[in-house]
């Protein structure tokens, strides 16, 4: 978890304050269908980089997905990435 925060914080500092967009309903539904993620906080960042990462703690997970990742990945690819982050 510390490594993820180090990566996330350095990325956010480089760009300034983060900008969030509402996540697509399909993304929220896919994420919250996974075991233990029924209350996962899903956030879409305005990043131009392909970024998908998780933070939080058991019972309070948070998933960050960049707008670039939503544009570049097919639904099947995004599902695979989410499954990887969930593992």
pLDDT in tens, 12-37: 665 555 678 899 999 999 999 999 99
Residues 74 and 83: beta-carbon distance below 8 Å: no
Tens digit of each residue's pLDDT (9 = 90 or more) over 32-81: 999 999 999 999 999 888 999 999 988 899 999 999 999 999 999 999 99
Spacing of C-alpha 56 from chain mean position: 11
**DSSP output for 43-66:** EEE--SS--EEEEEETTEEEEEEE
| pTM greater than 0.95 | no
CB atoms within 10 A of CB 31: 23
């Amino acid at each position: 978890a510390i490594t993820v925060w180090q990566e996330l914080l350095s990325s956010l500092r480089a760009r300034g304050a983060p900008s969030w967009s509402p996540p697509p309903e399909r993304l929220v539904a896919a994420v919250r269908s996974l075991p233990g993620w029924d209350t996962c906080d899903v956030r879409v960042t305005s990043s131009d980089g392909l970024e998908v990462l998780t933070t939080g703690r058991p019972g309070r997970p948070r998933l960050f997905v960049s707008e670039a990742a939503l544009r570049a990945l097919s639904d099947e690819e995004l599902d695979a990435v989410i499954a990887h982050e969930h593992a």
